[in-house]
């Protein structure tokens, strides 16, 4: 028996909810741990639990509601994943990719991803927001492994400009208008769920990383594969330098700090969304 193609899986998921979706979406937004409150700003929201989407994986991570929220956010028709999927939950990279492809099927051409992270860069402090300029994939995995679905994207997609310079500039200008200081740096994506050892944190910093977390890279690879433009914002929730003063971390403290950062990220996105390119651009 042949495995179901990604496009067939996405069509099956889309068919199960299309009557509830309404008009096509322009933007897709993925909310990370502790950042789910951003969905509260959506107007005329339709909320669809992941369990009600045919063949859709279900998020089990702390701070993730596990529902698709569709409506108007800051003047743009938006599909929001309020709760993402992680490798450490046992989902395969292709499961995470399928969720992203569904967002594209809903009409989204811009993919905005947020996450909670630890600050590898000693200049970063808990509560900072980092604009993701690029990433390092330390998972050893990819959502593109296996047969390629040519209807979605190329077999060998280029990743040299994953996080579009144009969108990054929009975010920098939006942060200035919002009065939010913004860091810039490289995100390191890991499998998790265990937090990194101090030696690993020093290694990731030496490799060029500024922040580290357990998400994002699978989604961004898939979004790029599908031809979406990507903007990434990371909530730096704890110091993760691995130095002699490194303190133990808990996921509860990370989620609490992510909520603090979420207020800043919302302020930035309020000024980003009106500047995003239209679907026809």
pLDDT digits (tens, 9 = 90+) for 145-171: 999 999 999 999 999 999 999 999 999
Residues listed for the chain:
281
Question: What is the rounded distance in angstroms from the CA atom of residue 77 to the CA atom of residue 71?
Answer: 6
User: How does 14-39 read in b/e, with b if 16+ C-beta sit within 10 Å?
Assistant: beebeeebeeebbbbbbbbbbbbebb
pLDDT band at 61 (very low <50, low <70, confident <90, very high): low
Alpha helices in 207-244 (DSSP H): 217-225
Is 16's pLDDT higher than 90?
yes
pLDDT value at position 64? 55
Is 280's pLDDT higher than 70?
no
Lookup result for tokens 């028709």: 77
pLDDT mean over 214-239: 97
pLDDT mean over 109-138: 97
155 vs 94, 146, 158, 218, CA distance in Å? Answer: 14, 10, 10, 16
Percent over 90 (pLDDT), the chain: 82
pLDDT value at position 63? 56
CATH superfamily, domain 6-275, is Nucleoside phosphorylase domain (3.40.50.1580)
- Using a 10 angstrom Cβ sphere, with 0-12 exposed, 13-18 middle and 19 or more buried, the burial of residue 194 is exposed
pTM as predicted = 0.95
pLDDT band at 247 (very low <50, low <70, confident <90, very high): confident
Handedness of CA 146, 149, 153, 156 (dihedral sign): positive
Is 182's pLDDT higher than 60?
yes
Is 58's pLDDT higher than 90?
no
Is 1's pLDDT higher than 60?
no
Cis peptide before 29 (omega within 30 of 0): no
pLDDT band at 254 (very low <50, low <70, confident <90, very high): confident
201 vs 105, 110, 185, 255, CA distance in Å? Answer: 37, 31, 15, 20
pLDDT mean over 18-22: 92
- Highest-confidence range of 30-34, 50-54, 87-91, 210-214, by mean pLDDT? 210-214
pLDDT value at position 225? 98
pLDDT band at 57 (very low <50, low <70, confident <90, very high): confident
Q: Residue ranges of the domains in the chain? A: 6-275
Beta strands 129-137; 182-189: pairing state: parallel
pLDDT value at position 113? 97
Q: What is the mean pLDDT of the chain?
A: 93
pLDDT band at 278 (very low <50, low <70, confident <90, very high): confident
pLDDT mean over 85-107: 95
The answer to whether the beta carbons of residues 272 and 113 sit under 8 Å apart is no
pLDDT value at position 59? 67
pLDDT value at position 66? 86
pLDDT band at 249 (very low <50, low <70, confident <90, very high): confident
* 255 vs 141, residue with greater confidence: 141
pLDDT mean over 23-30: 96
pLDDT value at position 281? 42
Is 31's pLDDT higher than 70?
yes
Q: Which residues have C-beta within 8 Å of that of residue 228, sequence separation ≥ 6?
A: 28, 100, 104, 108, 109, 110, 111
- Please choose, from the candidates 109, 103, 118, 125, the residue with its C-alpha nearest in 3D space to the C-alpha of residue 219: 103
């Amino acid at each position: 028996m042949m495995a179901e193609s990604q496009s067939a899986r996405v069509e099956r998921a889309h068919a199960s909810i299309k009557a509830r979706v309404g008009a096509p979406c322009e933007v897709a937004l993925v909310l990370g741990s502790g950042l789910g409150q951003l969905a509260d700003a959506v107007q005329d929201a339709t909320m669809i639990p992941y369990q009600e989407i045919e063949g859709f994986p279900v998020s089990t991570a702390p701070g993730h509601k596990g529902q698709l929220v569709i409506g108007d956010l800051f003047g743009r028709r938006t599909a929001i994943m309020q709760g993402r999927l992680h490798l450490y939950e046992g989902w395969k990279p292709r499961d995470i990719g399928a969720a992203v492809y569904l967002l594209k099927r809903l009409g989204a051409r811009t993919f905005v991803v947020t996450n909670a992270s630890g600050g590898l860069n000693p200049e970063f402090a808990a509560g900072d927001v980092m604009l993701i300029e690029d990433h390092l994939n330390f998972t050893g995995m990819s959502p593109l492994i296996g047969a390629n679905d040519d209807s979605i994207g190329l077999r060998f997609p280029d990743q040299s400009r994953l996080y579009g310079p144009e969108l990054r500039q929009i975010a920098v200008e939006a942060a200035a208008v919002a009065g939010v200081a913004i860091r810039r740096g490289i995100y390191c994506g890991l499998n998790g769920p265990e937090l990194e050892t101090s030696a690993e944190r020093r290694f990731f910093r030496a490799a060029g990383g500024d922040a580290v977390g357990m998400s994002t890279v699978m989604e961004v690879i898939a979004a790029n594969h599908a031809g979406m433009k990507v903007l990434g914002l990371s909530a730096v929730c704890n110091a993760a330098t691995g130095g002699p003063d490194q303190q133990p971390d808990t996921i509860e403290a990370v989620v609490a700090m992510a909520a603090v950062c979420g207020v800043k990220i919302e302020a930035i996105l309020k000024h980003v969304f009106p500047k995003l390119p239209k679907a026809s651009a």
